[in-house]
Structure 1
Amino acid sequence: MATQRSSARGPVWTTVVAAVLLGLGWLVFESGLLDRWTQQSPAASSGPAAEQLAELRVAPQGSMDGYSRARFHHWIAQPKAGRNCNTREAVLARDGQGVHVDNRCQATSGSWTSVYTGQRIDNPSDIDIDHMVPLANAWRSGASAWTDERRERFANDMDVPQLVAVDSSSNRSKGDQDPSQWKPAARDQWCEYATDWVTVKHAYGLTVTAPEKSALQEMLGTCG
């Protein structure tokens, strides 16, 4: 009798299991869970930035011999931003909200949010324009071999994410350090910071150190 009861339950149990699995399958597809389960890891899905990082040449830092900020002439005139506007004022106008300028194109009021800290700043004189890839880092990464004209373009380039309005404290804390030595305090900015850093270095054919590349991979891993 025990054997018969077990045999009788077989088809019923199979039917129940099949129904449950079908139900779960419907739930997975209906709710999009399957998409999330099969999604690439953040590091793998960081897209073009990860591809660009892989293309950068890894090399030790070069020498600082001959370096001077004067070799990267800034801030130059930016006629597209308006009459009398230089790069600093053009970035302030681009990155701020409700920005008003005088007839010399200098910002007189507005508000800015530092992407490094999330701090809101209402006084334009408290804003620094940061070079995403610091000038000294660029010098050690290949810019020492550039012409002065190319260095000037690098220091004033508004076509790549090289210039950003930030709070002066974080800008000075960053100095000329790469992402293996300094990262934004706001972790939710790591993805954008690493993406912008890689974009700039790729655009100008600059090198990265091994620790720098590792840190950038970690930060790109927060994307997605």
Structure 2
Amino acid sequence: MIVLGAAGCSSQPASKPAADGKPSPSVSASRAAGAGAQGAPGDVKQLPGMPTVSVARAQLAGLKVATAGSMAGYSREKFPHWASQGAKCDTREIVLERDGTDVTKDADCKAISGSWISRYDHLTFSSAAKMDIDHTVPLANAWRSGANTWTTEQRKAFANDLTHPQLVAVSATSNRAKGDQSPDQWAPPAKDYWCAYAESWTTVKSTYQLTVTDAEKAKLTDMLTTCPT
């Protein structure tokens, strides 16, 4: 049975490159120093629903291995995202506030100031407009691994899940370089985030009973070896 998460979203009202439709923006940022718990750079906050390493390994062992499915019939519109969360806020704004520091919002719930650290590449930002909200397991990847059989409401829940580590504020460049690729095809440039990335990816796929390919599972296994013992 598929577990439905709370409503949420991905990046800005723009899309992603390649198969997931993400454009390539120009981003200005500075390097963040240091690495914190869960392999996250700097002072970033813990994502919701993160498993322990042992749980992630058990979840990975339990995932069904299958070849990637077809993209036939796929479109991002089949995963309604940036859903309303009440008080004029949508999922994007909720994640920006959750993942940022000292975030202030206007009367329409838009982040107008704050600071953000991109887990994927250690870049820091002081403008919410420079941030994308990434789906840890991309919508197109989910489609190829089982979401093509879901209802629209199930896909909406997946695209707006604020309960599990499926949504994360990251730099637009890293998000759009990732596109719809699985970990064996793209991994965060910041290798100190590989542990948390593999934990996040694995628990999301386990929660939604999505499949993994052989290469994907092998890479996730390798990434979990970077976790602290």
What TM-score bracket applies, with the shorter chain setting the length?
0.7 to 0.9
Determine whether 1:71 maps to 2:78: yes
Amino acid at match of 1:113: I
Distance in 1, matches of 2:85 and 2:194, equals 29
* Structure 1 counterpart of 2:127, from 119, 123, 126: 123
> Which whole-Å deviations, capped at 9, do the CAs of 1:136-183 have from their partners, x for residues lacking one?
000000000000000000000000000000000000000000000000
- How much is the aligned-residue C-alpha RMSD, in angstroms? 0.8
Distance in 2, matches of 1:219 and 1:55, equals 17
Instruction: Figure out how many residues of one structure are paired with residues of the other and give that number.
Output: 177
TM norm structure 2: 0.76
Which structure shows the higher helix fraction? 1
Structure 1: segments with no counterpart, 5+ residues = 1-44
* Structure 1 counterpart of 2:96, from 86, 92, 95: 92
Determine whether 1:132 maps to 2:136: yes
Distance in 2, matches of 1:74 and 1:178, equals 21
Give the number of the structure whose alpha-carbon radius of gyration is greater.
1
How far has the Cα of 1:46 moved from its partner? Answer: 3.1
Q: What does 1:40-59 correspond to in 2, within 5 Å? A: 46-59=53-66
Identical residues among aligned pairs (%): 56
- Equivalent residue for 2:149? 145
Amino acid at match of 1:89: E
Distance in 2, matches of 1:147 and 1:115, equals 32
Amino acid at match of 2:94: A
Distance in 1, matches of 2:75 and 2:190, equals 31
- Equivalent residue for 1:208? 212
How far has the Cα of 1:78 moved from its partner? Answer: 1.1
The answer on whether the counterparts of 1:117 and 1:186 sit within 8 Å (CA) in structure 2 is yes
TM norm structure 1: 0.78
Q: Secondary structure of the residue that 1:91 maps to in structure 2?
A: helix
| Shift >4 Å, 4+ stretches | none
Distance in 2, matches of 1:135 and 1:66, equals 13
| Structure ranking higher on relative contact order (CA contacts 8 Å, 6+ apart) | 2
The answer on whether the counterparts of 1:46 and 1:221 sit within 8 Å (CA) in structure 2 is no
* Structure 2 counterpart of 1:175, from 179, 187, 190: 179
Structure 2: segments with no counterpart, 5+ residues = 1-51
- Equivalent residue for 2:19? none
> Which whole-Å deviations, capped at 9, do the CAs of 1:50-90 have from their partners, x for residues lacking one?
000000000000000000000000110113xxx10000000
- Equivalent residue for 1:159? 163
Determine whether 1:188 maps to 2:212: no
Amino acid at match of 1:71: K
